[in-house]
Structures are given as C-alpha cells and as structure tokens.
Amino acid sequence: MANIIIGLVGVVLGFLMVWKPNWFLEIIGVQAWAEKVFGPGRSSAGYQVIGLIIIFVSFLIMTDMLKGIVIWVFAPLMGWK
C-alpha cells in the first residue's frame, strides 16, 4: 500500500513539473546544467525532463518493478547470480 501512495505522490509531483515548469523555475531557480544542455533560457526544459523521469520511476515504484530493475542492472557489477 505504501508503494502506491509514494508512487501517486511522485506522479503528481512529476506531472506538476511537466505542466508548470516555470513555477519550479521561480522557486528553485535557474539550473546551470540545464542551461548548458538545453541552451540559454531553457531551464524549464530541464525541469520537464526531471518531471518525466520522476513519473517513470514513480510508476516503477507503484508496480513494484523498481527492485527487479535495480538488481538486473547491478547484479553483474556485484557478482550476484
């Protein structure tokens, strides 16, 4: 049940970051990395990308698939089978 609640909160936060990136830009400010990657004056695009990533990870948390993906990625590095 906690996974669903955490996932829903993440989806709402991610949706707000995609829908209203200028609001986050006013609160948090300009991000230097986003200006470098997306170009001058495009920090809002950085917030939108972060919002999409948050939505994707939140759906993985809600469906309990995040643990499997993390183990799949890190198992070869740790020598797990």
What is the CB-side half-sphere exposure of residue 38 using CA atoms within 13 A?
A: 16
Model-level pTM? 0.85
The pLDDT of residue 60: 95
Give the chain's residues under pLDDT 50. none
The pLDDT of residue 12: 97
The pLDDT of residue 78: 85
Distance CA 26, CA 16 (A): 14
The pLDDT of residue 38: 87
